[in-house]
């Protein structure tokens, strides 16, 4: 079946990013995967505080999207290998088999994701622990 992997690699020199991507793609090939495409999404700021395996806290990372096909069970084999990779910040593998998947809010309907209505959201401000509402 088809899979899609998102990778966030540490921002370093171009050679280090290439080495990190090469090691991850090598893990995929050793697991029996056939790599279809690799998309470079560029260097972006991380959406939240993440910790790399070495222990530093990077603020930006190189984002990659890898499309591949492999036998089932590749997720369980890749997870421990990704944790040991010194260039990797975060990686996730998901199935691409959902043929009827539709991007949220593209149908023109009102999007509801279960968020709560906060009428006084603008009046809330951050305090040391939590938010204070007026």
What's the rounded Cα separation, in Å, for the pair 93 and 13?
25
pLDDT at 124 over 90: no
Q: Which pLDDT belongs to residue 99?
A: 57
Burial class (CB in 10 A: 0-12, 13-18, 19+), 131: exposed
Q: Which pLDDT belongs to residue 35?
A: 93
* Mean pLDDT computed over 14-37: 90
Domain ranges for the chain: 2-95
* Mean pLDDT computed over 110-117: 54
How far does the chain reach from its first CA to its final CA, in angstroms? 53
Looking at domain 2-95, which CATH architecture does it have? 2-Layer Sandwich (3.30)
Instruction: At 108, list the tokens.
Output: 């023109």
What's the rounded Cα separation, in Å, for the pair 54 and 4?
25
Average pLDDT, the chain: 76
User: What are phi and psi for residue 59, nearest 5 degrees?
Assistant: -105, -25
What's the rounded Cα separation, in Å, for the pair 121 and 111?
19
Q: Which pLDDT belongs to residue 38?
A: 92
Which of 14-28, 43-57, 88-102, 112-126 is predicted least confidently?
112-126
């Amino acid at each position: 079946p088809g899979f899609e992997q998102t990778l966030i690699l540490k921002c370093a020199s171009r050679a280090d990013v290439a080495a990190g991507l090469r090691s991850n793609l090598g893990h995929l090939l050793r697991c029996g995967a056939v790599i279809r495409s690799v998309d470079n999404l560029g260097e972006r700021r991380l959406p939240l505080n993440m910790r790399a395996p070495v222990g530093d806290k990077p603020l930006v990372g190189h984002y990659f999207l890898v499309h591949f096909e492999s036998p089932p069970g590749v997720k369980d084999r890749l997870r421990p290998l990704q944790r040991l990779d010194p260039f990797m910040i975060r990686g996730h593998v998901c199935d691409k088999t959902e043929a009827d998947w539709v991007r949220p809010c593209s149908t023109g309907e009102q999007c509801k994701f279960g968020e709560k209505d906060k009428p006084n959201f603008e009046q809330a401000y951050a305090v040391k622990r939590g938010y204070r509402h007026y």
